[in-house]
Each structure stands twice: as structure tokens, then as C-alpha cells.
Amino acid sequence: MPFLLKLLAADKPLSLQAHPTLERARVAFAEEEARGIPRDSPARNYKDEWHKPELIVALHDGFEGLCGFRPLGETDDFLRHLCTGDEEDRSQVAQLRAHLNLDGLEHAVRWILIDRPPGLVNELVEAAATRDVGRWENEARLLRRLDEQYPGDPGVAVASLLNFAILQAGEALFLPAGNVHAYVKGLGVEIMAASDNVLRGGLTSKHVDVDEFLAVVDFTPLRSPIILGTVAPSAYVEYQVPSHDFRLLRVDRDTTTELDLSHAGIALVVSGQVTVTQGDQSLVLNQGEAVFISPSHPRVGVRSSGTVFIATGAEA
């Protein structure tokens, strides 16, 4: 199948990362193959020649994640709250704000990750702990948490430029190629294209290749990273995202519906009990159980007294 489905449980912030486009993955994979870098080498960036768009749906209220760059005006307002307000402010935080406003987002991120200005992370974290940050309290608290986990990591400074999303149950984040993201805390159902290509930019003890990370990053600001499912006429919920690799559906409690699946799929029950019927076969699934759905009988019946996610291939 062209996708992977899993439950993701984060009890601490995971790495700051991005994934390549399909075109970049194919070129870079071939380059590393030609250089003879073993595929299991920790220093290898590309384990395969595929892209890796991802979608994660929160199972409980309060799932936290960083997702895409915040609109520049909003980030400037956040950094303004972390500065002294003095026109003679020569702090690293003031310099970050200047880079952002004068030179743009990409230049600011390169300054953080390549120049690694000394004291920037410490200044951000100290200001986040001591200044009145107004409506940015969640973001300020996050910077302090990240620094506790990864002291002095430049990824903490990059995080100050990203959307910090706090999801309610059923809300989702879509992470296309180039989207800089990090899961911070919570439990969710995640589906992704079947690839292991991850470019890390910080907040990790694993291999970080700053140049390649920056090469795949999409610096386009993202105004609203949270997406909602759409209720179909057949009463199931679908998370409609621009991916040719997967579809993710949800059937909630006290719902009976019929799905038309033209590709193989997986049904994963996350609460209660669900009956899945295909052809003349029916199977009762309880919380934590899953079943493979064959493409041989595209009509699939679902009777749910809980919540079940159905992952399947997308139409070309």
C-alpha cells in the first residue's frame, strides 16, 4: 500500500523536521546511492526515493504541534513582545526581528541555523519567562519547554517563527512537502506516504543536515494550519487534503454507513466497538484492533458504536 497508518503518542517534543518533494527525493536518493552511503547509515538523509506528506488527527483535546511558518506580521508582534521596546535595543532577539522584517523569513531562518548567533536562544527563553507577552502566552511557555528539553538548540529559535497549534479531538494538521513541523504533545492517528525520508533541523540528537533541511523547506507562511473533516452524505467524515497517496475517513459513534473503496485499506478502531462488513463476511472489532480491507469488494459496510478510522489509497 502507498501509505503508512499509525497511532502517534508524544509525551515530549519530537524533532523539528520537513520532508522533500517527490522530485527532490528521487534526485537526492540517486545522489546518495552514487556516493555509496549505506542506506542504514545515521548520516544518510534519503532512505528511499519517495515523498512523505503526512496528516495527523487528534484523538483527545489538547494535542500540540508546530506546523508551518506563522504569517510575518504575527511573528513580528510576538518578537516585539520579547524585545525591550528601546530603539537602542541591540539584543539578539531584536536582530532576529530586524532580519525578519528587512531580509525576509528565509534569511532569518538561515541566520539562525547557519550563523547560530550566540545567546539568541537564551535571550528568547529568558524574555519568554520574564516579559508580558500578551496573547502569546502559549507560545512563550512552549519556548521555555523546548529549551528545557533541548537546551540552547537553535531549533528553539526556529520554533518562535512557527504556528503553534493546539488541537481539539477530531481536528487535524496536514504536513505537505516542505512544511516545517514538530509534534509537541498528545495522541493522534497519523497517516503518511510510505517513505522514511526525514530532514531534521533541530530539537533532536539524531542526524541534522542543515543545508539539505533548508533546501527542502517551504518558507511560504501558513495562516491557519488546523483543518477539519468534512461530513459526507453517507455520514462518514473525510479529511480532504491534496494527496495522491492516501485518504483518511472517520466513522463516529452511533453511525451506520457504507463506503465505496476502490483501493485496499485498513480500519483502525480507537474507541468502542465497530462491525465491518465486506461481501458476505463481517468482523467485530474492539478498541485497538484493526483489519485489512481488500480491494476485491469495494463496498464496505461499517456499523459503529465507537470511533473507527479507515485509511485507503487516493484516486489518481
Domains in the chain, please, with CATH? 3-227 (2.60.120), 230-312 (2.60.120.10)
Residues 58 and 185 sit within 8 Å (Cβ to Cβ) = no
- Model pLDDT, residue 316: 61
| pLDDT exceeds 80 at position 90 | no
Q: What is the pLDDT of residues 262-286, one digit of tens each?
A: 899 999 999 999 999 998 899 999 9
Q: Report the pLDDT averaged over residues 6-24.
A: 96
The per-residue DSSP string of 269-315 comes to EEESEEEEEETTEEEEEETT-EEEE-TTS-EEEEEESSEEEEEEPPP
| pLDDT exceeds 90 at position 315 | no
Residues marked active site are found at: 200
With a pLDDT cut of 70, the percent of the chain lying above it is 98
Under the banding of pLDDT at 50, 70 and 90, the label for residue 87 is: low
Q: Report the pLDDT averaged over residues 75-99.
A: 86
CA separation for the pair 289, 232 (Å, rounded) = 25
- Model pLDDT, residue 88: 62
Q: Mean pLDDT for the chain? A: 95
Q: What is the pLDDT of residues 27-56, one digit of tens each?
A: 999 999 999 999 999 989 999 999 999 999
Q: Is the pTM of this model over 0.85?
A: yes
Q: Which position has the higher pLDDT, 156 or 296?
A: 156
What are all long-range contacts of 268-272, with beta carbons under 8 Å and residues at least 24 apart? 268/5, 268/7, 268/189, 268/308, 268/309, 268/310, 268/311, 269/306, 269/307, 269/308, 270/7, 270/59, 270/189, 270/306, 270/307, 270/308, 270/309, 271/306, 271/307, 272/304, 272/305, 272/306, 272/307
| pLDDT exceeds 90 at position 296 | no
Q: Report the pLDDT averaged over residues 6-14.
A: 95
- Model pLDDT, residue 83: 86
Q: What is the pLDDT of residues 231-271, one digit of tens each?
A: 998 899 999 999 999 999 999 999 999 999 989 999 999 99
